[in-house]
Structure 1
């Protein structure tokens, strides 16, 4: 059985992670886990201290791993603000929504670290549906077992596609 693709959609609060993930999920036939929904139903015991953020990342990663083990694709969208939270989430195809400079919560802004490793970085131009289609095409082109490398989908790529 083919293992599904585990996708982490990360970025600051208000960057459009959930909107993007909701557009991407049907294109990849993926199960979508939103951090707010997971916190409301599974992780009610967690706050926003770093230890709790690490535990939330582990839980989100575990949920995605179970879906992928069953042969399906899984998308988790959450801030995942530090390299340690990204490590706790586990190996994944990482999509960084780098669309805003400051999120809604100052405490998160203070600890947020720009990721050093990602597969796709989405800039501030273009809407969620466009980027979802573009990313789905990239993933389908490269296959679920291959990372594209630090691939930035930039305005030049957008222009070439139109």
Structure 2
């Protein structure tokens, strides 16, 4: 299962991913770490598409090998989310703007998602893990 944790920069994607990874004992890929490994800090439209394909390739590898995987990245557009093609999508809607106005400007709120987190006290990591396991 490919789990996407998406939302604006600073919304808590990585924090939740780190806790969920322990709860689910699964693989986890963080967008900033992947960009660092690829030496690719291009945030143009093409750079963002490339990042979506990069995250998808790693997640698909894990899924193909029967493993659950969490990927956390902003995934700001519907196109990026379509490219990634998550099995389960968590939208971290905990903030309305980030420190990156260019990203805020292109961010499209998701039309479909499996779980929307609007407040940190809304769910515990174990509750989120249970919701995912029930799918």
| Structure 2 unmatched ranges of 5 or more | none
One of 84, 89, 99 as aligned partner of 1:104: 99
In the other structure, the counterpart of 1:35 is: 31
Q: Tell me the CA shift for residue 126 of structure 1.
A: 1.2
TM-score by length of 1: 0.79
Task: Report the 3-state secondary structure (helix = DSSP H, G, I; strand = E; otherwise coil) of the residue aligned with 1:41.
Answer: helix
What is the CA–CA distance in structure 2 between the aligned matches of 1:110 and 1:102, rounded to whole Å?
Answer: 9
In structure 2, which of residues 4, 8, 32 is the aligned counterpart of residue 8 of structure 1? 4
Unaligned runs of 5+ in 1: 143-162
CA RMSD of aligned residues (A): 1.3
Cα shift readout 1:124-144 (whole Å, capped 9, x = no counterpart): 2418xx5321111112223xx
Give 3-state SS (helix, strand or coil) of 2:82's partner. Answer: helix
Alignment correspondent of 1:123? 118
Structure 2 residue 81 is the aligned partner of structure 1 residue 86: yes
Q: How many residues align?
A: 135
Q: After TM superposition, which residue ranges in structure 1, 4 or more long, deviate above 6 angstroms?
A: none
Separation of aligned partners in 2, 1:10 and 1:118: 10
Equivalent residues of 2:6, 2:89 under 8 A apart: yes
Greater relative CO, 1 or 2 (CA 8 Å, sep 6+): 2
Select the structure of larger CA radius of gyration.
1
Match of 1:156 in 2: none
1: CA distance between counterparts of 2:41 and 2:11? 23
Of 126, 132, 140, the match for 2:133: 140
